[in-house]
């Protein structure tokens, strides 16, 4: 059976079953026709290619890998089955007729050689596999693993199809391959995960074919969202109604323009500045753009196409296997498509690609746009709605049955590739050698395997100010398995500001830390996991003279605390230890607090209290010995109520009652009809505020001590970095490995002991008396039997005698104890009686046990 192509209505070709034809005659006819029809096009193409300088062919793309023994592969790698040979013959027939019908197009990628030098059809090289790795259940994880795991071998020359297409197992073993090897492995994983994926052979831009990402923005960098200031010209609405001539004086005047002229000038200046920046950016991008490619549109590339339908994919998209990124099918990075294939069929693109892939459709069931190799159920329209498909199937059911009876359908042979397997170690190492460097536009990304570096670094992003990547701007590092729970560190080279982010589980529930230096009493910002702290602290911002704390969901409704310290007299000491803030007067006996000038606390609204009694803000002016309290504003009022207190002068001596006068308080009540507060209530309020002031100062000191403790802990952690190792990771956890070895050694000793017990011969002492003969006579056997029985009887008798002696001894001791009790009963205490009863109970229990054992021995001897 032979498959041939016939001209269609549009000059296309169809797959038909023809009788066997001599290959030599068929090839000669095709060559003669091809020379007559496409002579001028071929000459023009040859003249254009002759002006292009191509480097010599790389030897590693043709020669087999010396480190891989071909004898290790199964027979399916080294030879073809009968179905595969038939498929190769069909593909060769298609290739010849395709070259005859379309001499100006590139040859199809049909039957390259595998790693063993055997020709294999490209569809049979795909091996759909679903691995038990959660990361490979989605296309993002599959693409990321393939792009990170393999190293690229460039096509040489870049305008020719590769001669080899290695199996995914060979690619995983060697961790290198061409773009076709990348796509084959990625498509196999996607098919196993349930996606409708296809390998695509076509043309792409130079940067994509060479894996040159130096002109692309790094995907780890979030694009800066610039607020575009657009000039919004508001139309001046004129409400003047056209009145008769004699009523013009009553026309309504237009309203005044109430917009600020200053804001309009600022908006206009911002718009001009934005246009200037855009023009400058455009000129810079134009100057930084790469030079034109002489092989534009001729560079061969392979990628993956995912069609909608399976796995809830809404639209078709491309996946670039070299980078793991997705692109829409209208992307200008892809310049044309020659053919696509999956594990079931092979399609040739019949659409015009002179303007790229933007206007292409991917209805593989349309024979006008896609010519298929094998006629099967895959040939029907793949983009029809299921109800439409069912309707078409119902209408053409009879025709399909007749066609199946008349024509034999050839199905794709199964894949010759072994099952794909990726070990746990390979997934952890990810990159070849455990590390990988990617260069982007003004940025570089370094990736490391876990536990490869002692500090736990797994990824490092460095941004630069120039295209040559010589002037570093920002360094961002990601960590894993750190004992200090450090997750990310970002260092700004210009400002020397460091931002550290931590996972949950650190001491003090620290979430992030922004600082310039680890010296205390300097500018820093600390964020915390508020739900994990008893005080619900969310953020602490500290400067040399101020400290601001914010809280979340506190039961006392406190959400803000701002502390202003007095100015520091000196700077940091040469030894690196900062000088303490100047000390103010003692607030409590035996307690000295730093020189705090002002403390401001703010509270959320407590709906259980009236607004006039619910504190909104309180200010402790320590330098002036005053306290200001502002209450929440009522809903129908525009100003709140407030109270100002002046602390008494004898505040430091708590033994003396505080003197209070009405002149120490000034209040403001919103409602003038409300009665003023009595002096006793004001005195109690002042005492409560003074007590709260003491508590606030204690909390401030605790906050400062906490900051110093965090800084000291960070210095200690950075000096001795430790990595966490799971107890299930016995390969790295030495303690777990030693424990496992100890268990294995104990189990082995127990097994040997049991074997020795099994090998122990109880007759060995009796056989030794007779000289350990190899065979026993009847008399010797009877004598040994009698000796064994006599020895057993003697052991039973001796054991019974020991039990009898123990029984008599226990009975005698119990009798003596009873006599002692009868003699000393009148003078015994309660404790003595309890001890006697306890002894009698234990003795009777032992006597009963000995009596039972003695009776059993007697029965055994009998």
Dump pLDDT digits (tens) for 183-223. 999 999 999 999 999 999 999 999 999 998 888 888 888 65
Q: Which of 29, 149, 30 is nearest to 97 (CA)?
A: 30
Contact 77, 90 (CB under 8 A): no
Chunked into runs of 10 residues, the chain (862 residues) has average pLDDT values of 37 40 42 46 52 42 48 84 92 91 90 92 94 92 93 91 93 92 95 95 92 87 47 40 50 74 89 87 69 88 94 93 93 93 93 88 90 69 45 57 58 91 88 89 91 92 89 93 93 93 93 91 92 94 93 94 74 44 42 67 93 92 90 90 85 57 87 84 90 93 93 92 83 76 87 74 78 83 88 86 89 89 86 88 89 80 63
Strand, helix or coil at 748? helix
CA distance 347 to 587: 87
Do residues 195 and 307 make contact, with C-beta atoms less than 8 angstroms apart?
Answer: no
Alpha-carbon distance of 772 to 774, in angstroms, equals 7
Query: What is the structure's pLDDT at 270?
Result: 92
Contact (Cβ atoms closer than 8 angstroms) between residue 447 and residue 417: no
Structure tokens at 586: 């003692």
Report d(CA 648, CA 39) in Å as an integer. Answer: 111
**Distance from CA of residue 280 to its chain's centroid?**
38
pLDDT > 90: what percent of the chain? Answer: 42
Q: Would you call 646 helix, strand, or coil by DSSP?
A: strand
Using CA atoms, how far residue 5 sits from 90, 102, 177, in Å, is: 11, 12, 33
Query: 450 preceded by cis ω (within 30°)?
Result: no
DSSP output for 305-359: EEESSGGG--S-EEEETTTTEEEETT-TTEEEEEEEE-SS-EEEE-S--TTTTTT
The predicted structure's pLDDT at residue 39: 47
What is the pLDDT at residue 406? 46
Region for 304 from its dihedrals, namely left if φ exceeds 0, alpha if ψ lies in -120 to 50, beta otherwise:
beta
d(CA 538, CA 527): 6
Q: Which residues contact 737 (CB under 8 A, 6 or more apart)?
A: 730, 731
Q: How far apart are CA 625 and CA 647, in angstroms?
A: 5
Handedness of CA 708, 709, 715, 718 (dihedral sign): negative
- Closest CA relative to residue 177, chosen from 256, 68, 279, 267: 68
* C-alpha–C-alpha distance, residues 861 and 792, integer Å: 10
| CA proximity to 145, closest of 313, 342, 343, 321 | 321
Return d(Cα 780, Cα 798) in angstroms, integer.
27
Cα–Cα dist 2/391, whole Å: 33
The span from the CA of 263 to the CA of 269, in Å, is 10
Is residue 96 within 8 A of residue 149, CB to CB? The reply is no
Determine the pLDDT at residue 13: 46
H or E element that contains 744: helix 734-759
User: In Å, how far are 56, 196, 297, 361 from 314, measured between CA atoms?
Assistant: 44, 12, 30, 15
DSSP string, 387-430: HHHHHHHHHTHHHHHHHHHHSPPPPPPPP-SPPP---HHHHHH-
Q: Give the pair of three-digit tokens for residue 695.
A: 């508590």
In sequence order, which residues have a C-beta less than 8 Å from that of residue 374 and are 6 or more positions away?
A: 15, 344, 345, 346, 409, 410, 411, 412
Could you give phi then psi for residue 565, rounded to 5 degrees? Answer: -95, 165
């Amino acid at each position: 059976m032979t498959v041939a192509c016939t001209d269609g209505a549009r000059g296309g070709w169809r797959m038909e079953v023809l009788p066997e034809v001599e290959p030599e005659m068929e090839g000669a006819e095709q060559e003669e026709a091809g020379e007559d029809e496409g002579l001028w096009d071929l000459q023009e193409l040859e003249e254009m290619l002759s002006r292009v300088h191509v480097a010599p062919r790389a030897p590693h793309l043709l020669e087999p890998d010396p480190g891989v023994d071909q004898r290790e592969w199964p027979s399916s790698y080294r030879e073809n089955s009968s179905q595969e040979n038939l498929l190769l013959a069909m593909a060769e027939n298609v290739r010849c007729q395709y070259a005859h019908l379309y001499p100006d197009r590139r040859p199809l990628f049909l039957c390259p050689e595998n790693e063993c030098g055997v020709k294999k059809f490209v569809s049979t090289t795909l091996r759909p596999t679903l691995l038990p790795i959660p990361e490979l259940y989605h296309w993002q994880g599959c693409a990321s693993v393939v792009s990170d795991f393999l190293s690229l071998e460039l096509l040489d020359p870049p305008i020719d199809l590769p001669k080899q297409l290695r199996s995914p197992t060979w690619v995983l073993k060697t961790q290198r391959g061409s773009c076709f090897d990348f796509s084959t492995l990625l498509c196999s994983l996607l098919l196993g995960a349930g996606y409708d994926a296809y390998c695509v052979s076509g043309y792409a831009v130079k940067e994509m074919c060479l894996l040159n990402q130096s002109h692309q923005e790094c995907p780890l960098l979030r694009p800066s969202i610039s607020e575009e200031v657009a000039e919004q010209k508001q139309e001046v609405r004129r409400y003047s109604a056209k009145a008769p001539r004699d009523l013009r004086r009553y026309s309504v005047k237009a309203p005044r323009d109430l917009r600020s002229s200053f804001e309009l000038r600022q908006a206009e200046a911002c718009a001009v500045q934005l246009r200037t920046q855009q023009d400058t950016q455009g000129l810079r991008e134009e100057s930084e753009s790469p030079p034109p490619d002489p092989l534009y549109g001729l560079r061969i590339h392979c990628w993956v196409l995912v069609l909608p339908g399976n796995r809830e994919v809404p639209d078709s998209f491309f996946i670039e296997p070299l980078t793991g990124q997705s692109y829409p099918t209208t992307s200008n990075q892809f310049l044309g498509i020659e053919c696509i294939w999956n594990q079931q069929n092979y399609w040739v693109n019949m659409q015009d690609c002179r303007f790229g892939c933007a206007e292409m459709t991917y209805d593989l069931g349309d024979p006008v746009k896609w010519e298929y190799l094998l006629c099967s159920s895959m040939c029907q329209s793949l983009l029809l709605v299921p109800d439409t498909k069912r309707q078409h199937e119902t209408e053409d059911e009879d025709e399909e049955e007749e066609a199946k009876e008349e024509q034999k359908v050839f199905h794709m042979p199964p894949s010759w590739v072994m099952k794909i397997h990726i070990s746990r170690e390979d997934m952890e190492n990810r990159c070849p050698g455990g590390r990988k460097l990617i260069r982007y536009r003004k940025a570089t990304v370094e990736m490391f395997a876990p536990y490869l570096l002692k500090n736990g670094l797994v990824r490092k992003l460095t941004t630069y100010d120039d295209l040559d990547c010589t002037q570093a701007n920002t360094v961002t590092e990601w960590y894993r398995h750190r004992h200090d729970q450090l997750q990310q560190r970002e260092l700004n080279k210009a400002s020397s500001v460091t931002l550290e982010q931590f996972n949950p589980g650190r001491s003090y529930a620290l979430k992030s830390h922004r600082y310039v230096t680890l010296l205390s009493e300097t500018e820093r910002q600390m964020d915390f996991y508020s739900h994990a702290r008893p005080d619900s602290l969310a953020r602490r911002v500290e400067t040399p003279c101020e400290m601001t704390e914010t809280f979340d969901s506190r039961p006392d409704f406190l959400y803000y605390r701002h502390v202003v310290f007095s100015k520091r007299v000196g700077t940091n000491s040469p030894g690196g230890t900062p000088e303490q803030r100047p000390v103010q007067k003692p607030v409590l006996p035996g307690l000295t607090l730093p020189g705090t000038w002002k403390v401001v606390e703010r509270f959320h609204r407590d709906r259980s209290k009236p607004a006039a009694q619910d504190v909104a803000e309180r200010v402790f002016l320590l330098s002036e010995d005053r306290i200001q309290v502002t209450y929440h504003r009522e809903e129908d009022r525009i100003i709140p109520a407030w109270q100002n207190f002046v602390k008494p002068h004898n505040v430091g001596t708590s033994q003396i009652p505080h003197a209070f006068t009405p002149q120490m308080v000034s209040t403001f009540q919103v409602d003038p009809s409300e009665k003023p507060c009595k002096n006793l209530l004001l005195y109690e309020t002042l005492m409560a505020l003074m007590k709260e002031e003491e508590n606030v100062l204690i909390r401030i000191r605790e906050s400062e001590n906490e900051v110093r403790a965090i800084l000291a802990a960070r210095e200690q952690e950075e000096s001795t970095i430790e990595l966490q190792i799971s107890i299930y990771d016995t390969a790295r956890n030495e303690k777990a490995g030693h424990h496992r070895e100890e268990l294995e050694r104990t189990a082995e000793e127990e097994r040997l002991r049991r074997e020795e017990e099994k090998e122990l011969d109880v007759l060995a002492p009796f056989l030794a008396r007779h000289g350990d003969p190899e065979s026993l006579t009847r008399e010797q056997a009877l004598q040994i039997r009698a000796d064994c029985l006599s020895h057993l009887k003697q052991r039973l008798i001796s054991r019974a005698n020991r039990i009898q002696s123990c029984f008599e001894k226990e009975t005698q001791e119990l009798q003596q104890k009873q006599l002692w009790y009868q003699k000393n009963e009148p003078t015994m205490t309660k404790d003595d009686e309890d001890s006697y009863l306890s002894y009698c109970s234990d003795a009777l229990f032992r006597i009963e046990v000995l009596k039972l054992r003695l009776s059993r021995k007697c029965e055994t001897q009998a």
